Amino acid sequence: MVKPTEPDQVPNPLGEVEALVDGGDMDCGSGLLLLITRAMRRLEPGQLLGVRSQEVSVVTDLPAWAELTGHGVVTEIAEADAGPWWFAVRKAGAATREATVFSQGERTPVGHRLWVYTNFDCNLACGYCCAESSPKAAARRFDPATAAAVFGEFAAQGGREVFLTGGEPFMNPELGALVVAAAGLERTILTNAMVFARGTRRRTLEELDRDVVLQVSLDSATPAPHDKQRGAGAWSRAFDGIALARSLGFRVRVAATLYEEDPAGVGALHGLLDDVGIAAPDRVIRPVAQEGFATTGVHVSLESLEPEPTVTADGAWWHPVAVTNPHLRIADAPLPLAEVFGVVRDTLAVQDAAARAGRAVFRCA
Ligand code: SF4
């Protein structure tokens, strides 16, 4: 991948533009669409956005994007036959923008749900970890002051539910404060349930409000498949952690990641969950995404992933499985949330407009 460069490091043949985006070799089906959507939101109607790209598909896709959004390509320059290509795009007026607001249909409405990575370190180092977490990973902890600002803005915009994930959230000594900062919202913590049996993490667990839901990873009905990815003894400790959390009065949801398709294994897992009384709505079974450490699994992209806006200590992302994927990065900071959700809405709007127009405009990464 050709990395985007800082715009002010690039000689600009377009002349005067208000902002400049260098997308490297990203295409409109991946990171370039998010970059230009964010940049365009920051401009006033009539101002010019410069775009540079080394990806040949932009010759078709960028004008198509401009047509769908109502913006106007006023200059197009090819430095050579093989690019890179430069575009100056004039931002549409407000009336044109309103015409492209998307219909959300069956999707979870953007702005209702927010994912937060509390930290990236973990007691485990699973072979399929999309976040590239491990005991050696930099913690990148989400601090409570930022969390208070994020959750405050989220609630003020009509936000409803927060999912706190990692890494292993209970590795963050300030998890309790992060959960308190989200009070008033529906709160779920994703955990491997292995580290809160005793000590300060046990106290953190016991002090949580009982309306906090714990979503615990348990990949199989028997230890071997789970431990193959997560390490010897992981299944037993997770199972004990589920029992402990339920004994303390928490609602526990079980999430299984299927590394290889195994219908018999899924049936056995449902049988186990029936036996221990985990209700069907509290079971989440999903395949591995080919992200992070995973070398196989479902390929994900801007086109194939329904957005689930996600913030980390150092950025914002399209979806929680894609926080190591530069093509799915929305912003370089978690705040302001209005910009994060705005980029997602605008991107969905253009995807929907392309679909309505019957155009396969935006290519996969
Ligand atoms: S998949 Fe979950 S438990 Fe495994 S390393 Fe990643 S964050 Fe930790």
- Ligand 1 centroid vs 21 CA: distance in angstroms? 34
- Ligand 1 centroid vs 122 CA: distance in angstroms? 6
Chain CA centroid to CA 129, Å = 14
Task: Determine if the peptide bond prior to 84 is cis (ω within 30°).
Answer: yes
What are the tokens at 36? 């230009």
Digits of tens for pLDDT over the chain (365 positions)?
444 555 555 678 888 899 999 998 888 877 899 999 999 999 999 999 999 999 999 999 999 999 989 999 999 999 988 889 999 999 988 544 433 333 334 668 899 999 999 999 999 999 999 999 999 999 999 999 999 999 999 999 999 999 999 999 999 999 999 999 999 999 999 999 999 999 999 999 999 999 999 999 999 999 999 999 899 999 999 999 999 999 999 999 999 988 765 656 888 999 999 999 999 999 998 888 889 999 988 888 888 889 999 999 999 999 999 999 999 999 999 999 999 999 999 999 988 888 887 765 444 32
pTM of the model: 0.88
Angle 299-301-303 from CA coordinates, rounded to 5°: 125
Second CATH level (architecture) for the domain 7-100: 2-Layer Sandwich (3.30)
Distances (CA, A) of 83 to 25, 50, 87, 131, 134: 10, 15, 12, 34, 40
d(CA 213, CA 210): 8
> Which CATH superfamily hosts domain 113-336?
Aldolase class I (3.20.20.70)
d(CA 307, CA 196): 31
Pocket (CB within 6 angstroms of ligand 1): 122, 124-126, 129, 131, 133, 166-168, 192, 217
Q: Which protein residue's CA is at the shortest distance from atom 7 of ligand 1?
A: 167
Among 230, 321, 323, name the best residue to mutate to test ligand 1's pocket (greatest count of ligand atoms within 8 A of Cβ): 230
- Ligand 1 centroid vs 48 CA: distance in angstroms? 44
- Ligand 1 centroid vs 265 CA: distance in angstroms? 21
Q: Where are the domains of the chain?
A: 7-100, 113-336
For residue 264, give the amino acid letter: A
Q: In what order do the strands lie in the sheet with 113-117?
A: 283-287, 252-258, 213-217, 186-191, 161-165, 113-117, 310-312, 315-317, 329-331
